[in-house]
Amino acid sequence: SVILSGSTSVTSAEDGFTVDYTISNASSESINISEIKPKIYLDGISGEDISYEFTYTQTDSSSTTIAAGGSNTYSFLITPTPYYERS
């Protein structure tokens, strides 16, 4: 099994913020991660997905392979998309 942990709460995202995700592999075999990217929700996880309003850049060079019983941390810098205005 794979366990994902990591979240952040932001009051103002104007200057950008960082998010760290740690993915742990509790299985007995290595796994390969094909894609990992942050999702941004308005007013919490049950809110509207507003990920399209942000750009994200992975700021680490963690491997896409997670060894059996191991874990990797993936870090992202998230910034608002320039000139995006909610209606």
Which pLDDT score is estimated for 62? 78
Name the CA radius of gyration of the chain, rounded: 15
Q: Helix count (H) and strand count (E) of the chain?
A: 0, 6
User: Taking the CB of residue 78, how many other CB atoms lie within 10 A of it?
Assistant: 19
| Average pLDDT per 10 consecutive residues for the chain, totaling 87 residues | 54 74 90 87 89 89 89 88 65
Using DSSP's 3-state secondary structure scheme, residue 52 falls into helix
Using DSSP's 3-state secondary structure scheme, residue 53 falls into helix
Q: What is the DSSP letter of 42?
A: T
Q: What's the pTM? A: 0.71
Which pLDDT score is estimated for 2? 44
